[in-house]
């Protein structure tokens, strides 16, 4: 593979400049925050562990794209979840590239419901869980959802048309209607159905998840970071991996130690530090940044850093039909069923789930249909790829204090930081919801003539949430309603790890909305010299 495209010219701030905001991670939270701050006059240093890749670097190859964009550093896994058995060295999935996982995401943009943000009050006492209510309400978030949908150009909102239906959607639609479901659509996506905001319409080639060479999908790499660079106030440092957050004698964050692209250890001073590295790397960095004042890790006096890890119940059903479907044509997740979203205890579980389309290329389908499956039956299944349709459930899993990210006691990475372990035990509520979802997906396909359905197990977790959760009281979480850590007044978090609960929706829209709200808070606080 050729060398990646050189990053565009960025501002250059001195390492001892303690007037800058340092953001670690350039994905949905960090990249959005960088743009929102710089356009309002704030100078930002953005540290990203991965390289800058341009359209000429991206490949129209799903399997090769996974290896090009993904964070492949070793992790370990434990717990009862099957992921620990099938993918013990790579239990979670996200990206290591400028733009983070927004470079690879499928563009699904759905909002939390009011009830999901009040999970403890609505669901009640679910034994074995650590449910809490968010310290903000849907009403607090709605104006920021509106702004985020405009920023992302979400289809089906603001007068923008939805994505067109593909064959996989038609199978979903008619199957859902035949089993009596009502809320079926192509969904809402940050992928243009028509040109918008300087980006073209999708060409429906199915490769928006491998960087999107066409540029129809919103990503921070494609939109937010170039616009932040154009302000002259962003110092983008690609291939710069943060390893430690320092604090001063007063307990305020004072700088970030990182290893640059040449392998040299550097220190960047900071007025404010924002961690947006994702649900694994952010708690890993906090836990590693221990000191005499913070012996359990930075901002971890109450012991919640890394705990209450969530990953959504993500399951897939692949079904085989007599006639070709060619599910790979068109946008891969352009379909949504909302009927199972409302909380309904009569189903035997708390919370709800969405059903969405799921289409993968042949190698990925073969790898994830049932890891370890082999022989004549497996070969016969994958040979029918053109005749397959796919459905995907994303459901709300229950937070548990023992589901957590921790540091290895005996294994470090190439930079000397302990390897992360992700421990996850399935909760009975999760198992009940998963089984209900499998039955729902299989019934939809059966209603339109599926001759075989395969219930695929979960693959490496991609909706990673909750490991530094937001809480009204410091004893219940890590950050407050604006993402500021309870114990370090100028240290913030701007990624999915601050979710108090997971809801059922794909999380990117909420991460962007929260980042925009956080930027407004930061600008106000810095203007008032409260930071």
Residue 401, in any domain of the structure: yes
Task: Tokens 């991206």: give the residue.
Answer: 58
Q: Is the pLDDT of residue 519 over 60?
A: yes
**pLDDT given at position 9:** 75
List beta partners, residue 318.
390, 454
If one compares 36 and 459, the residue with the highest pLDDT of the two is 36
Q: Which of 373, 464, 460, 421 is nearest to 87 (CA)?
A: 460
Q: For 261-300, b where at least 16 C-beta lie within 10 A, e where not — what string?
A: eeeeeeebbbbbbbbbbbbbbbbbbbbbbeeeebeebbbb
CATH number of the domain that 510 lies in?
3.50.50.60
Burial of 67 (C-beta count, 10 Å sphere; 0-12/13-18/19+): exposed
User: With contact defined as beta carbons under 8 Å apart, do 218 and 186 qualify?
Assistant: no
User: With contact defined as beta carbons under 8 Å apart, do 479 and 282 qualify?
Assistant: no
**pLDDT given at position 3:** 59
Lowest mean pLDDT of 53-62, 135-144, 342-351, 385-394, name the range: 53-62
Cα atoms found within 13 Å of the Cα of residue 127, Cβ hemisphere only: 1
List beta partners, residue 108.
189
Residue 48 has which token pair? 């990203």
**pLDDT given at position 10:** 83
- Could you tell me the strand order of the sheet in which 44-47 lies? 234-237, 44-47, 21-24, 272-275, 491-493
Residue 16, in any domain of the structure: no
Q: Is the pLDDT of residue 1 over 60?
A: no
Reported as a single tens digit per residue, the pLDDT across 316-372 is: 999 999 999 999 999 999 999 999 999 999 999 999 999 999 998 888 899 889 998
Residue 314, in any domain of the structure: yes
pLDDT grade for 206, boundaries at 50, 70 and 90: confident
Averaged over 290-295, what is the pLDDT? 98
Averaged over 193-202, what is the pLDDT? 97
Residue 168 has which token pair? 């996989």
**pLDDT given at position 208:** 85
* Domain span holding position 198: 21-527
Q: What is this structure's pTM?
A: 0.97
**pLDDT given at position 103:** 96
CA distance 213 to 120: 43
Residue 327, in any domain of the structure: yes
Averaged over 41-61, what is the pLDDT? 95
Mean pLDDT of the chain: 96
Residue 167 has which token pair? 């064959």
CA distance 29 to 515: 5
Residue 273 has which token pair? 């530090």
Reported as a single tens digit per residue, the pLDDT across 464-473 is: 999 999 999 9
Averaged over 270-286, what is the pLDDT? 98
Q: How many domains does the chain have?
A: 1
**H-only helix segments in 279-375:** 281-288, 362-368
Residue 14, in any domain of the structure: no
Residue 80, in any domain of the structure: yes
Residue 120, in any domain of the structure: yes
Q: Is the pLDDT of residue 43 over 90?
A: yes
Averaged over 421-438, what is the pLDDT? 98
Q: Is the pLDDT of residue 505 over 80?
A: yes
**pLDDT given at position 258:** 98
Residue 304, in any domain of the structure: yes
Q: What is the largest CA-CA distance in the chain?
A: 70
């Amino acid at each position: 593979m050729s060398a990646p495209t050189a990053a565009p010219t960025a501002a250059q701030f001195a390492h001892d400049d303690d007037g800058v905001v340092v953001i670690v991670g350039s994905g949905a939270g960090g990249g959005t925050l960088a743009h929102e701050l710089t356009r309002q006059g704030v100078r930002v240093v953005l540290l990203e562990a991965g390289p800058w890749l341009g359209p000429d670097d991206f490949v129209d190859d799903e399997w090769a794209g996974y290896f090009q964009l993904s964070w492949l550093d070793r992790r370990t896994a434990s717990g009862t979840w099957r992921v620990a058995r099938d993918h013990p060295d790579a239990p979670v999935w996200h990206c290591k590239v400028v733009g983070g996982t927004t470079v690879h995401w499928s563009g699904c943009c759905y909002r939390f419901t009011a009830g999901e943000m009040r999970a403890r009050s609505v669901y009640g006492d679910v034994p074995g869980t650590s449910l809490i209510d968010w310290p903000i309400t849907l009403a607090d978030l709605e104006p920021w959802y509106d702004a985020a949908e405009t920023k992302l150009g979400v289809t089906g909102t603001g007068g923008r048309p939805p994505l067109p239906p593909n064959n996989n959607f038609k199978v979903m639609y008619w199957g859902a209607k035949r089993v009596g479901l009502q809320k079926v659509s192509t969904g809402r996506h940050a992928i243009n159905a028509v040109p918008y905001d300087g980006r073209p319409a999708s060409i429906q080639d199915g490769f928006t998840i491998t960087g999107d060479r066409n540029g129809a999908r919103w990503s921070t790499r494609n939109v937010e970071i170039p616009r932040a660079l154009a302000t002259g106030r962003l110092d983008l440092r690609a291939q710069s991996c943060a390893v430690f957050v320092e604090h001063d004698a007063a307990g305020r964050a004072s700088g970030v130690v990182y290893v640059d692209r040449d392998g040299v250890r550097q220190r960047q001073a900071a007025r404010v530090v924002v961690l947006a590295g994702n649900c694994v790397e952010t708690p890993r960095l906090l836990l590693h940044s221990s000191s005499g004042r913070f012996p359990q890790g930075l901002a971890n006096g109450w012991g919640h850093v890394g705990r209450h890890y969530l990953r959504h119940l993500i399951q897939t059903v692949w079904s085989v039909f007599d006639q070709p479907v060619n599910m790979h044509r068109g946008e891969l997740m352009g379909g949504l069923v909302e009927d199972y979203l409302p909380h309904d205890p009569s189903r035997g579980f708390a919370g709800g789930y969405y059903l969405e389309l799921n289409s993968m290329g042949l190698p990925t389908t073969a790898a994830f249909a049932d890891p370890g499956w082999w022989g004549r039956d497996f070969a016969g299944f994958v040979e029918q790829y053109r005749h397959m349709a796919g459905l995907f459930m994303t459901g709300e899993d229950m937070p548990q204090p023992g589901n957590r990210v921790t540091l290895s006691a005996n294994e470090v990475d190439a930079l000397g930081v302990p390897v992360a372990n992700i421990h996850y035990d399935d909760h009975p509520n999760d198992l009940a919801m998963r089984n209900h979802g499998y039955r729902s997906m299989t019934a939809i396909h059966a209603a339109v003539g599926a001759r075989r359905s395969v219930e695929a197990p979960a693959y490496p977790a991609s909706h990673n949430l909750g490991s530094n959760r937001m809480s009204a009281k410091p004893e219940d979480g890590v950050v407050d309603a604006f993402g500021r850590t309870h114990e370090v007044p100028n240290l913030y978090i701007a990624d999915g790890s601050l979710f108090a609960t997971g809801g059922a929706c794909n999380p990117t829209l909420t991460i962007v909305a929260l980042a925009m709200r956080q930027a407004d808070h930061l600008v106000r606080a810095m203007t008032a010299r409260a930071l």
